[in-house]
Chains A and B, each alone.
Chain A
């Protein structure tokens, strides 16, 4: 519940090092903070500001633009039911009603046990598999009332722990650039020459 841990600072510095400008790492670091605490804390935002060289207000400004960042605790499982056109055509509205009944909460709220948060979501890019939902950004396709109840039951009983991490973790695999292979980021002002593989007299003919 706080600033980024020592391990996470190490990951953060690795991420920052990939960009010509540190501020570009803001969104990846916000994800890192959310992974650590389940939501983005004020302390983490201040810490990210220090790491990327901006103010905490700027970090907050960026963070609040994006739907995925939460600023107060949400359920361990964030259930996003898609309601955009293709899903709506195939029963998303009914599925949402069913979900509200099953979980006993309205969309936009969290169950008292802190396990589930139910949200209306927008197009999840799985339109042919309507209606769809995501639990912590893991898909479930062609969801029926029965498969929804089964899913909730599985999550409640911890049967999907391997596939679906707790809220905050999106991808379980991180990019790692090996030190001996990476080219390294260079600030744009430090580059004036064309890259090594481009033919040197590049002035005529190559642009249109």
Chain B
């Protein structure tokens, strides 16, 4: 049943922080927990456990107030959207045109940003909390139907949410006249079929309408005005909604007491790559720094094998890269934006000094090139160009024109100054986020982002690649890689470091 149990034995760690074999990679630590408070229970996904641990108490608290008062609470608490853009949820709900009904809630559970995983855990480990959040949101904003869109590849999350919905319907928490009030709501489980771009809210709506998941042009009309079936539609991320039950139970003051004024509460962060203890952590928003996350004993615990940090991706695959100069930045949208990147979806990918930077950039560019929906030419053509040129360079067939060509192609997707981090080593000053773009959504720019970051911060590695032909895997092998082609065989690569 639980996908995690199969390799659970490998996840026992000998540190003070708690780990649970049924949530591999999750470490609770000694921190306030808003959305992961039930992760310590093996049966956290059942309605019994949920009800025994303050389940649906937040819903009852919300239903005791008039709907606009609940909306005011969410606004006052500044619950930031956790999907990537960081837009306050309460403000988003307020953007629906007055007097236009019906309005819909679409829950974005199509988590597929490279490096990110928090929504999957929230759906697998605490589906009722998400359902409760959906109910509160629909009550507060007057939304008459809720569609819970889960990524197609997440079989276990789909099963857990389906079971939770069935149980909640039977227990009277969803459906007609919830808890005896005149609040009635259907929550419909919908699932995708494998397309990254569907994580973009207008593409999500297209997909939910039964179409190819291609983003809609916006502005002028954002989904809050014209969304699903042409009606006002709120699209919220899973983690955003999972915050609401706690907020309703404990109140605005308790919520804003955690974190900073501009980024209150907590947020889920996944730290992966070349660290001692890759994991998912619920961290205090706004004040926790990247240094804490990567080197803190209660977090990732530093670099593996005593290696040194080369670079890291601070906010999911589409974020420009940082280097050690940016380690002390807090997880705060504005600070990170000014430094040239974004907090994004809460994913840090760490590269140590054994990383082959051009090859690492290629893995991300290939991802975005593959996931382009094909609607905008700069992304459809440009993404593939970037990938092909990078492939050529990584394979050792690059020419001296290729580096300029990469920049040129990138300029057609993102004209002007592209954001990047500052670097003392290179004497670079930061170019702040965001970029200009010639595409509707961020997939095209995201194909260029890793290329631009890698090329700006590690141009020497690309130049070396043009001069000398070597074959090395993305990461270090235990024996030095040899320059002959036999090093590509499985036998010689079996020594790749795994932990």
A interface with B by C-beta (< 8 Å): 18-21, 23-28, 30-31, 52, 54, 61-62, 65-69, 80, 83-86, 88-94, 97-98, 100-101, 122-131, 134, 136-142, 144-145, 147, 163, 170-178, 181-186, 188, 191-199, 202-203, 205-208
Contacts and interface: CB of A to CB of B under 8 A. Distances in A.
Given A84-B317, A128-B278, A129-B24, A175 B166 contact: yes
Contacts of B175: 177-178, 181-183
A149 B396 CA distance: 32
Interface centre among B158, B159, B231, B359 (most CB of A within 10 A): B158
A31 B474 CA distance: 35
Interface of B: 1, 3-4, 6-7, 10, 24-25, 66-68, 71, 75, 91, 94-99, 101-102, 111-117, 119-120, 139, 142-145, 151-156, 158-159, 162-163, 165-166, 169-170, 172, 174-176, 181-186, 188-196, 207-214, 229-231, 270-274, 278-280, 313, 317, 347, 349, 351, 355, 359-360, 363-364, 367, 370-371, 373, 473-475, 488-490, 493-494, 496-499
Contacts of A206: 68, 71, 94, 98
A69 to B, nearest CB: 6
Given A24-B209, A94-B494, A177 B66 contact: no
Contact of A186 (B1, B102, B195): B102
B158 A170 contact: yes
A86 B229 contact: no
A68 B194 contact: yes
A61 B207 CA distance: 12
A144 B490 CA distance: 13
B208 A24 contact: yes
B305 to A, nearest CB: 12
Contacts of B67: 197-199
A91 B497 contact: yes
Contacts of B169: 176-178, 181-182
Given A86-B115, A126-B25, A195-B144, 19 more contacts: A23-B210, A30-B193, A62-B212, A66-B152, A66-B192, A68-B152, A84-B364, A92-B474, A97-B490, A122-B114, A125-B117, A138-B156, A142-B7, A171-B155, A174-B162, A175-B166, A194-B99, A197-B67, A199-B66
A193 B99 CA distance: 8
A207 B224 CA distance: 12
Interface centre among B25, B101, B181, B363 (most CB of A within 10 A): B363
Contact of A175 (B94, B188, B490): B188
B80 to A, nearest CB: 17
A190 B359 CA distance: 55
B176 A183 contact: yes
B237 to A, nearest CB: 13
A69 B212 CA distance: 13
A127 B316 CA distance: 11
A25 B210 CA distance: 6
A141 B191 contact: no
B176 A171 contact: no
B10 A134 contact: no
A46 to B, nearest CB: 15
Given A127-B114, A188-B230, A177 B498 contact: no
B188 A197 contact: no
B193 A68 contact: yes
A147 B10 CA distance: 12
A175 B189 contact: yes
Given A66-B193, A97-B490, A206-B68, A27 B474 contact: no
Contacts of A100: 490
A192 B494 CA distance: 64
Contacts of A195: 101-102, 142-144, 183-184
Contacts of B494: 94, 98, 145
Contact of B212 (A61, A85, A92, A184): A61
A171 B150 CA distance: 11
The 9 closest A-B pairs by CB, nearest first: A67-B194, A66-B193, A26-B210, A181-B175, A171-B158, A128-B278, A23-B210, A97-B490, A91-B496
A93 B162 CA distance: 35
Nearest to B182: A196
Given A124-B153, A125-B112, A194 B142 contact: yes
17 contacts: A18-B186, A20-B145, A28-B190, A66-B213, A84-B367, A90-B496, A90-B497, A93-B493, A94-B494, A97-B493, A123-B116, A125-B116, A125-B119, A138-B3, A139-B6, A191-B101, A206-B98
Contacts of A199: 66-68
Given A141-B4, A183-B185, A134 B153 contact: yes
Nearest to B231: A188
Contact of A101 (B3, B192, B490): B490
A123 B68 CA distance: 39
A21 B270 CA distance: 37
B117 A127 contact: yes
Nearest to A197: B183
Given A127-B114, A137-B155, A86 B349 contact: yes
Nearest to A121: B153
Contacts of B6: 139-141
Contacts of B359: 88
Interface centre among A171, A183, A203 (most CB of B within 10 A): A171
Nearest to B90: A208
Given A122-B370, A185-B186, A83 B363 contact: yes
B272 A197 contact: no
